[in-house]
Amino acid sequence: VALVRRRCKETGGGLEDPEHVLRICELAQQVAEHLAHVSGDCMDILSYVKIKRMPGRHIRDSECVDGVVFSRDVAHRKMRCRIQDCRIALLREPLSFDHGHRLTRLDDLRRQEADFIDLKVDKIALDLQPTPDLLLCQGSVSQIAQEKLRDKKISLVLGVPAHILDAVERCTGARILQSVDSIVRSTQGGSVVGQCRSFHIHRCGEGGKSFVIIEGSNTDRFMTVCLRGGQ
């Protein structure tokens, strides 16, 4: 407790308050008791713990989540933002059509793009088994692809940082796809689709920040400490 109090005092912002110190100690104990070291893992526990500040409420409302929490929202307002027993796929490449420098009529380009995106989305929805409920993509995703994924009832979160994909891979059992075209090759070694107990979007007030919460997967592999209080 004395060590935490000293570190909180150095950090400032009122964290040296006894109630704050005690709550932080409780959270640290939960993390230490919860995480399991597996052969080959890095010895630095901070590789498997993320600390996320979330505005509002009080320090006593801070909690440990057995999964990953990060700042993002679903790409389309009509996509599901709460899924129980959620199946998850992870993708690094952008999901978009490269027009390049083609000297082609606009209508032809649009048709080519629609056909290209159809093939890509069908690969995700049909070739991945089980079919994912949620796709996390590191790159950008075209508007056409977003709408087609929505029609397939696949929620999408785009622009996900590489280290977040790595964390989700660790705690859900999903395998990161480098590209959609690699799906067949990747699935030959077993399913690349992971699973968690729940996925949902937490929105902090009207017009506030949105957070993706993926929890209840391989519960001793990764944790997020959500610190509440303040703005």
Q: Is the pLDDT at 217 greater than 80, yes or no?
A: no
Domain that holds residue 205: 67-215
Domain total of the chain: 1
More confident residue, 143 or 96: 143
Tokens of residue 149, six digits: 């994924």
Q: What mean pLDDT comes out for the span 189-205?
A: 89
Would you state the pLDDT for residue 183?
84
Asked if residue 53 is part of any domain, the answer here is no
Asked if residue 45 is part of any domain, the answer here is no
pTM beyond cutoff 0.75: yes
Q: What mean pLDDT comes out for the span 171-199?
A: 86
Asked if residue 41 is part of any domain, the answer here is no
Which of 56-60, 75-79, 136-140, 205-209 has the lowest average pLDDT? 205-209
Which of 80-84, 148-152, 199-203, 227-231 has the lowest average pLDDT? 227-231
CATH code, domain with 203: 3.50.7.10
- Return mean pLDDT, the chain: 85
Asked if residue 38 is part of any domain, the answer here is no
Would you state the pLDDT for residue 189?
64
Asked if residue 42 is part of any domain, the answer here is no
Asked if residue 40 is part of any domain, the answer here is no
Q: Is the pLDDT at 102 greater than 60, yes or no?
A: no
Would you state the pLDDT for residue 216?
86
pLDDT per residue as tens digits for the range 16-46: 667 777 888 888 888 888 887 777 777 777 7
Task: Of 21, 220, 179, 211, give the one whose Cα is nearest residue 94.
Answer: 179
Asked if residue 104 is part of any domain, the answer here is yes
pLDDT per residue as tens digits for the range 112-142: 888 989 999 999 999 898 999 999 999 999 9
Percent of the residues in the chain that have a pLDDT greater than 90, as a whole number: 51
Which of 12-16, 181-185, 226-230 has the lowest average pLDDT? 12-16
Q: 68 falls in which pLDDT band (50, 70, 90)?
A: very high
Asked if residue 196 is part of any domain, the answer here is yes
